[in-house]
Amino acid sequence: MTVPFNIFDTLPRDCWVNIDTAQLADNVRRLQAHIGRPVLVAIKANGYGHGYENAARAFLAGGARYLGVANYAEGFLLRQLGIAAPVLVLNGMMPNEMVLAAQAGLDFFVWRPDHIAALRQMPKTSTPVRAHIKVDTGMGRLGCFPEEVAQIGEALKSMPNVTIAGLATHFAIASIPDNEHTNGQIAKFDQAIASLAAIGIRPEIIHAANSSGALYHPRARYDMVRVGIVAYGVPPSAVVGPDIPEGVKTALTWHARVTSSKILPANSSVSYGCEYVMPKDARIGILPVGYADGYHRIPKNANSVLIEGQERKILGRINMDQCMVDLDGLPDITGAEAVLLGKQGGKEISVGELSRRWETNTYGVYVGISPRVPRRIVP
């Protein structure tokens, strides 16, 4: 028997994530209208935690022109799901992976002589290979230097089975509006565009901006923007910047049910390490969520959830698969729903709040939610 990759989404579990796919689609519609350019949406890392298929189908329904994945395997998964839309691999790949990506009809980045050599030796594909020249203008990651772009362009131009599908760069600090580094990156990118134009090359799609670039640096929108986090409804950074367009909202909430509950006597300890000691006789509840689900165990004592419309502390260490919550003063509410991320009773634990508690970023909260937590599409 072959088990579907997302089988957990279909099985019962008292810890789950709700995904509002209609909201994801609406986010893309609104962003495309606001930015005024076609949009590539990054659905790498399990659709930023929302599920590959949920995210891909919702964003395409909302009008996304391209999907972005990190590597060949993620792109292959989309093709297996029957998604025929243009897909760009955002990471660098070794030449052997490039061959597979080309055969799956995925666009990818090239910038090194060995990439050119790999393209020359590539087995013939039914349609031309779609290569995007990647230039490093100040991210210090993938790409050639701007002055090397023309040489790569010349080489690609001479290959009949290759289309120069794009010229791309990536920003390092675009979440700060009008900053010197990003302005410098844009200037170097313009230089790279000019150097290709000088030898008669106009790539199909010139693209540079991630979410923050697209929102805060209109000059960097070029032919297409590559958005990730803002398409999931989250502002790209906690740093001061204009708000995200009206109506663009988060679409993921995280829930668990109390699976057991009891009154513990004063002075009894709770959880591994016996670090939390009950100050009085009081009720605790057990939640079936732990660090294996992506619910962080550090820093200590940082966590709380919403139950019965109240914020309640997690007591003691988080375990791999469970944790204990303070239910002092409540009756036995076994079966009651706790909100780990989202709203209940007029209170909210937002993804920004969780990222601050866990000393990570909002991306880290979302992508950390393990695939074993079922994603349920809200009707």
Rule CB under 6 A: which residues touch ligand PLP?
42, 90, 170, 210-211, 226-229, 236
Measured from the CB atom, the residue of 90 and 193 that comes closer to ligand PLP is 90
Alpha helices in the chain (DSSP H): 21-35, 44-48, 52-61, 72-80, 95-103, 113-121, 149-157, 180-197, 211-216, 351-357, 362-368
Measured from the CB atom, the residue of 215 and 286 that comes closer to ligand PLP is 215
* Smallest distance from ligand PLP to CB 366, Å: 10
Q: What is the token pair recorded at 366?
A: 């979302």
Catalytic entry in 48, 134, 216, 272: 272
Measured from the CB atom, the residue of 90 and 149 that comes closer to ligand PLP is 90
The separation between CA 47 and the C-alpha centre of its own chain, rounded to angstroms, equals 5
d(CA 124, CA 147): 30
Which residue's CB atom is positioned nearest to ligand PLP? 228
Side-chain-facing half-sphere of 304: CA atoms under 13 Å: 17
Question: Length of the chain, please?
Answer: 379
Measured from the CB atom, the residue of 73 and 266 that comes closer to ligand PLP is 73
d(CA 51, CA 59): 12
- Exposed, middle or buried by CB within 10 Å (0-12, 13-18, 19+), for 274? exposed
* Smallest distance from ligand PLP to CB 150, Å: 22
Helix axes 21-35, 52-61, angle to 10 degrees: 50
Closest to 55 (Cα-Cα) out of 11, 3, 101, 9: 9
- The reply to whether 44 belongs to the active site is yes
Measured from the CB atom, the residue of 133 and 256 that comes closer to ligand PLP is 133
d(CA 301, CA 152): 53
Asked if residues 83 and 77 have their Cβ atoms less than 8 Å apart, the reply is no
Asked if residues 290 and 262 have their Cβ atoms less than 8 Å apart, the reply is no
The separation between CA 92 and the C-alpha centre of its own chain, rounded to angstroms, equals 18
Catalytic entry in 44, 52, 216, 363: 44
* Smallest distance from ligand PLP to CB 311, Å: 29
Question: Mapped to the 3 state alphabet, what secondary structure does 78-135 carry?
Answer: HHHCCCCCCEEECCCCCHHHHHHHHHCCCEEEECCHHHHHHHHHCCCCCCCEEEEEEE
Measured from the CB atom, the residue of 207 and 296 that comes closer to ligand PLP is 207
* Smallest distance from ligand PLP to CB 180, Å: 20
* Smallest distance from ligand PLP to CB 327, Å: 38
d(CA 303, CA 325): 9
* Smallest distance from ligand PLP to CB 90, Å: 4
* Smallest distance from ligand PLP to CB 44, Å: 7
Asked if residues 248 and 33 have their Cβ atoms less than 8 Å apart, the reply is no
Measured from the CB atom, the residue of 87 and 305 that comes closer to ligand PLP is 87
- The reply to whether 262 belongs to the active site is no
Which residues are catalytic, by number?
A: 44, 272
